[in-house]
Amino acid sequence: MQQVNRRHLLLGLGATAALAGIGGAAQAATKVSAGSRSVLIVVDVQNCFIPGGSLAVKEGDVIVPLINTLAKKFQNVVLTQDWHTADHVSFASQHAGKKPFDSVKLGYGNQVLWPDHCVQGTEGAALAKDLAIPQAQLVIRKGYHKNVDSYSAFYEADGKTSTGLGGYLKQRGMKRVFVVGLATDFCVAWTAMDARKEGFETYVIEDACRGIDAAGSLAKAWTDMKAKGVKRIQSADLA
């Protein structure tokens, strides 16, 4: 299958983004174990991304109880937070004449412009109040450099600047990564693909995610994840 640059997911997004849930998928043939060398990465379950937030994902709040339940099966959990400056380059408000979901060309590639969201220290950037994972060992913040976006928990949008998560997980002996959260076709997908890039066996738990399906971005994300070797499972497939 042809390999596709991950940032090409963003090409062609128009001014209107239809918020949608996730589609069906075949379940794994056998149960997958969340052993001592597995880590659950909970991506961006923040107030801005759930209903009522400035960049809300449809049903983004519905997955929270399931994520809480899944997390109890893992000895190792990492949480991520979008953590933008108030003048972040990805905000439409920072580009004259542009509106949310327009695109601009930046030094690292095509950039979708978003509504202001997850500004450092604001209530919108806080983790959703119903997210209850006290055993999480690390909260990794991303997107805090104002001149570059960061969808993945592993690398910023230039594809080169590391967050340090890969090294952290390797030093702790992790071998298998499971990804849940928001949004399937953006931060979840890029986190999963970069986990594969770092050499981890990688699973996305589909029913514990929700997506922004803009101009076919959700289907394309699943296609690109599959091409990178990411495995698509349901919560029922987890032992």
Residue 158 annotated among the catalytic residues of the structure: no
Task: Kindly name the residue from 187, 197, 209, 224 that is annotated as catalytic.
Answer: 187
**Three-class SS state of 140:** strand
Residue 187 annotated among the catalytic residues of the structure: yes
- 94's CB contacts (< 8 A; 6+ apart) are 87, 88
The end-to-end CA distance of the chain, in Å, is 31
**What pLDDT is attached to residue 136?**
98
Q: Which tokens belong to 115?
A: 């509504």
Cα 210 to Cα 38, 67, 70, 76, 122, distances in angstroms: 22, 12, 16, 22, 23
Burial of 73 (0-12, 13-18, 19+ CB in 10 A): middle
Secondary structure E strands in 23-166: 38-43, 77-82, 103-106, 109-112, 138-142
Residue 130 annotated among the catalytic residues of the structure: no
Task: Kindly name the residue from 44, 61, 116, 237 that is annotated as catalytic.
Answer: 44
**What pLDDT is attached to residue 214?**
81
Q: Which tokens belong to 154?
A: 């592993």
- What does the pLDDT look like over 139-185, one tens digit per residue? 999 999 999 999 999 999 999 999 999 999 999 999 999 999 999 99
Q: For residues 108 and 85, what is the distance between their CA atoms, to the nearest angstrom?
A: 18
**Three-class SS state of 84:** strand
**What pLDDT is attached to residue 17?**
37
Task: Kindly name the residue from 61, 82, 142, 213 that is annotated as catalytic.
Answer: 142
**What pLDDT is attached to residue 29?**
55
Q: Which positions of the chain have pLDDT values less than 50?
A: 1-28
**What pLDDT is attached to residue 215?**
81
**Which residue carries 């570059």 as its tokens?**
148
